[in-house]
């Protein structure tokens, strides 16, 4: 029988995958996709807890995170396009003019 801990463990794993993805990959878009992955892991844990607690608040929260994620995607990709148009690359290792 699948209990709440299974779900939470799954969402933790997903979250860690997302985080490592952000750390390792160099392409800005891939990094953004990993961040989306993290958010979905959180949605999963929300839904699991909501079901387990039998309260609607968790489900409600998921709606908001999804809409926010969508908005963020729009803005994020626009920024990445602007960077690309200016520097012909999306590899974040080339983007380090400002340091120290």
Partner 1 sequence: MTPASIMTFNILSILPILILSGFGMIVLFVDIFSSRRWREKNLLAYVSLLGVILAAIFARSSTGTTLFSFNETFTIDNYSLFFNFIFLLSTGLTILISHSYIRREEINHGEYYALILFSTIGMMLMAAGADLLNIYIGLEVMSVSIYILTGFKRSKLISNEASLKYFLLGAFATGFLLYGISLIYGSTGTINLKQVAGFIASKGGISDPVLLMGMGLIIVGLGFKVASVPFHTWVPDVYEGAPTAITAFMSVGPKAAGFAAFLRIFMTAFGSTHGEWQKIISILAILTMTTGNVIAIAQTNIKRMLAYSSIAHAGYLLIALVAANNIGVPGTLFYLLAYTFMNIGAFAIVIVLSRKGDECIQINDYAGLGFKHPFLAIAMTLFMLSMAGVPPMAGFVGKFYIFSAAIKSGYIGLAIIGVINSVISVYYYLRITVIMYMKEPAREFTPLTISPLIVAAIVISMVGTLHLGIFPSKVMEIAQQATLILK
Partner 2 sequence: MLNLVSLILLFPLIGSAINGLAGKRLRKETVGYLACGAVGLSFFVSILVFCGLLLLPPEERLFEKRLFSWIESGSFRSLAALQVDPLSTLMILTVSGVGFLIHIYSIGYMHHDKGYHRYFCYLNLFTFSMLLLVLSNNFLLMFIGWEAVGLCSYLLIGFWFEKKSASDAAKKAFVVNRIGDFGFALGIMLIFLNFHSIDFTEIFSAASHGNFETGNFAITMITLLLFMGATGKSAQIPLYTWLPDAMEGPTPVSALIHAATMVTAGVYMIARCNVLYTLSPFTMTVVASIGAATALFAASIGLVQNDIKRVLAYSTISQLGYMFLACGVGAFTAGVFHLMTHAFFKALLFLGSGSVIHALSGEQDMRKMGGLKSHIPTTYKTFLIGTIAIAGIPPFAGFFSKDEILLEALIRGNFIYWSIGAIAALLTAFYMFRLLFITFHGESRVDHHVMEHIHESPKNMTLPLTTLAGLSFAGGFVGIPGASAINHFLSPVFGGHGHAEISGAETAEHHGAGLPYLMMVISTAIAIAGIFLAYQMYVKKPGLPKRLAERFRFIHKLLLNKYYVDEIYDAVFVNQIKKISTQILWKGVDVRVIDGSVNGIARLVGGIGNIFRLLQTGYIRNYAFYIVIGCIFIVVLAVFGR
CB of 86 to partner 2, least distance (A): 16
Three-state DSSP class for residue 25: coil
Among 8, 19, 33, 50, binds partner 2 (CB under 8 A): 19
Cα separation, 40 vs 14, whole angstroms: 8
CB of 49 to partner 2, least distance (A): 18
Decide if 21 contacts 41 (C-beta within 8 A): no
Q: Which stretch binds partner 2 (CB under 8 A): 58-66, 67-75, 80-88, 91-99?
A: 91-99
**Window 11-50: residues binding partner 1 (CB under 8 A):** 11, 15, 18-19, 22, 28, 31-32, 35, 38-39, 41-42, 45-46, 48-50
Give the nearer residue to partner 1 in terms of CB position, either 24 or 82: 82
Cα separation, 52 vs 7, whole angstroms: 10
Q: Is 80 exposed, middle or buried (0-12, 13-18, 19+ CB in 10 A)?
A: middle
Q: Which helix (H) or strand (E) holds 92?
A: none
Among 6, 26, 51, 87, binds partner 2 (CB under 8 A): 26
């Amino acid at each position: 029988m699948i209990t709440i801990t299974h779900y939470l463990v799954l969402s933790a794993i997903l979250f860690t995958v997302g985080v490592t993805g952000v750390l390792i990959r160099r392409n800005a878009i891939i990094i953004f996709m990993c961040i989306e992955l993290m958010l979905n892991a959180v949605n999963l844990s929300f839904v699991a807890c909501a079901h387990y607690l039998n309260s609607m608040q968790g489900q409600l929260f998921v709606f908001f995170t999804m809409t926010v994620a969508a908005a963020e995607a729009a803005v994020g990709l626009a920024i990445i396009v602007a960077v690309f148009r200016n520097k012909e690359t999306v590899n974040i290792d080339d983007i380090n003019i400002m340091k120290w």
